[in-house]
Each structure stands twice: as C-alpha cells, then as structure tokens.
Amino acid sequence: MANRIERNLNVSCTMKGAERYILLWHDEQTREAIQQLGRWAANPELTFSWWDAATTCHRIRTRIEE
C-alpha cells in the first residue's frame, strides 16, 4: 500500500440527557464540522444550544493548535 494516505479521524461527543451529538471528521474537514455545530444549535427541535456549539468549537480549535 505505497499510495496509502494517513488521515487523522477526529471525534467529538456532546451528551445532553439521553441525546448524543457525535461529530466525526478528518483534519481537512474541520470547517465543515464547526458549521455542523451551528446547524445543530440553530435547530429549535434539538437541545443542542449555542453554548454547546461554542464550547465544542473551542475544544476543536484547541485540539488543532496542539
């Protein structure tokens, strides 16, 4: 497998009561992962809040800087 590309798979899980919000993304998909947080927060049918989006986004960005 000489042409194999190494890609990191990132995982973030937020638990809200019985609900689980799980993101799986590769490093080059970080922007899309953060955008998904905003879509969840904007959806009034979900318990995922803007605070959840902000704190999860902060964790993602902190992980990138490491």
Q: In the structure, what pLDDT confidence band is assigned to residue 7 with cuts at 50, 70 and 90?
A: confident
Angle at 35 between CA 30 and CA 40, to 5 degrees: 125
Residue 23 lies in a domain: yes
> Which pLDDT value is given to residue 13?
95
Q: Which domain holds residue 27?
A: 9-65
Q: What is the pLDDT of residues 12-63, one digit of tens each?
A: 999 999 999 999 999 999 999 999 999 999 999 999 999 999 999 999 998 8
Q: In the structure, what pLDDT confidence band is assigned to residue 8 with cuts at 50, 70 and 90?
A: confident
**Total structural domains within the chain:** 1
Burial 29-65 (b: 16+ CB within 10 A, else e): bbeebbebbeebbeeeeeebeeebbeebbeebeeeee
> Which pLDDT value is given to residue 35?
98
Arithmetic mean of pLDDT, 8-12? 92
